[in-house]
Structures are given as C-alpha cells and as structure tokens.
C-alpha cells in the first residue's frame, strides 16, 4: 500500500519554481531542489519527474503567478491602461528586494540559452505569448485612441518586449524603483508621439 504524501504539491512546485528562477536551468542542482523543498531525490522524481519535467512545470507555475495581471489588463479601461497595469506589475517585481521576484524564468532561460528542445520550445512559446499580450494591448490602445503613436502595433509590441528585458537587467544592476519608473514613463511618452 502506497504511503500518503505529507507535503503539498503546489507548495513544493512553488519552491521548485523559485529555485529555477533564481539559479537558472543549468545552475539548478538536485541538491538545491532538495534543500529548498525538504524532499529527497526519490520523492521529487516520483512527484515531479526528472529535472527537465520539473523545469517545464516551473515555467508553467511562474506564468500562472502572473494570471492576476492578465486579468487586470483585460479589465483595464483602455489599451494604454492595460499596458500601464502590465508595466506597473513589472516594476513592482523588478524593484523587489527578493531576487526571486526580480528574475523572470522565461527571460532568464532564453538568455541562458537553454537548448533542450522541449524546454526551448516552452520558453519561446511563453515569450511569444507575452509579445502577443502586449501586441493586443497596443492594438486596443490604437483603436480606442489611448495610444496615438501610429507606428505599426507589431513594432511597438517588439519595443515593449525589449523594455521588459531592460527592466530585468536594470533591476539586477541595482537601479532604483524610481529609475525604473522613469524608464517606463519615458516609454509611455513615446506612445503619445504621432
């Protein structure tokens, strides 16, 4: 008869996600995962699979953490307000004193060059989803008049995705919340240019 699990899978998955988010895929060892979760090797493998499978679950978990931002963007008054919701959350995350919040598992994974096919595919897919989210908000803003910049929405979305990476690097380089807020404000000023 199998023993009943004495741990919460969602709680352990959150801890796994934090480890991968902090150390990257290559930098995450089984020892780090065991230390963070308090579980042994066999319990981790039996519950979450091998390292690759754990990482895929961690990507999904990290993305799920942002569901409230997507919902708030959907409920925003207009496209510009939706972008403001997104970037306010970004700056909040980047300005955190917690390195787990400063990092983004997708951005870090892409920069790390994770090249195992299923992992690279998951990371790229999530990057495209973020691009799509920003692209839709820009299109919405151009249609409702809250964004007057007539640059094609796809190009503006590319620019905003680049801002995400810039904010993550700025946070790691020690930029203050005020400095990051100014960077976002400058970007939003460019959305007002015809």
What's the pLDDT at 100?
A: 79
Q: Is the pLDDT of residue 3 over 70?
A: no
Q: What residue ranges do the domains of the chain occupy?
A: 9-62, 66-191
pLDDT at 4 over 80: no
Residue 67 tokens, joined = 């569901």
> Topology of 9-62 in CATH?
Arc Repressor Mutant, subunit A (1.10.10)
- DSSP annotation of 149 reads -
- 162 touches 145 (CB < 8 A): no
Question: What per-residue confidence (pLDDT) applies to 1?
Answer: 45
Residue 191 is encoded by which pair of tokens? Answer: 């959305």
Q: pLDDT by residue (tens digit) across 8-49?
A: 999 999 999 999 999 999 999 999 999 999 999 999 999 999
At 85, is the secondary structure helix, strand, or coil? helix
Q: Is the pTM of this model over 0.95?
A: no
Quick one: tokens of 164?
Answer: 């995400």
- DSSP structure class, residue 40: -
pLDDT tens per residue, range 112-142: 998 899 999 999 999 999 999 999 999 999 9
């Amino acid at each position: 008869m199998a023993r009943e699990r004495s741990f919460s899978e969602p709680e352990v998955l959150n801890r796994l996600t934090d480890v991968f988010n902090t150390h990257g895929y290559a930098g995450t060892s089984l020892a780090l995962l065991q230390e963070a979760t308090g579980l042994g090797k066999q319990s981790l493998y039996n519950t979450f699979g091998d390292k690759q499978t754990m990482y895929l679950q961690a990507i999904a978990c990290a993305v799920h953490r942002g569901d409230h931002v997507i919902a708030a963007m959907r409920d925003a008054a207009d496209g510009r307000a939706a972008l403001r919701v997104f970037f306010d959350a970004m700056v909040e995350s980047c300005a955190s004193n917690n390195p787990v919040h400063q990092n983004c598992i997708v951005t870090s994974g892409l920069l790390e060059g994770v090249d195992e096919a299923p992992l690279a595919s998951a990371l790229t897919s999530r990057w495209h989803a973020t691009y799509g989210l920003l692209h839709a908000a820009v299109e919405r803003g151009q249609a409702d008049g809250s964004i007057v910049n007539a640059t094609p929405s796809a190009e503006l979305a590319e620019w905003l995705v680049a801002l995400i990476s810039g904010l993550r690097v700025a946070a790691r380089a020690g930029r203050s919340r005020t400095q990051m807020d100014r960077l976002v404000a400058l970007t939003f000023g460019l959305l007002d240019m015809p």
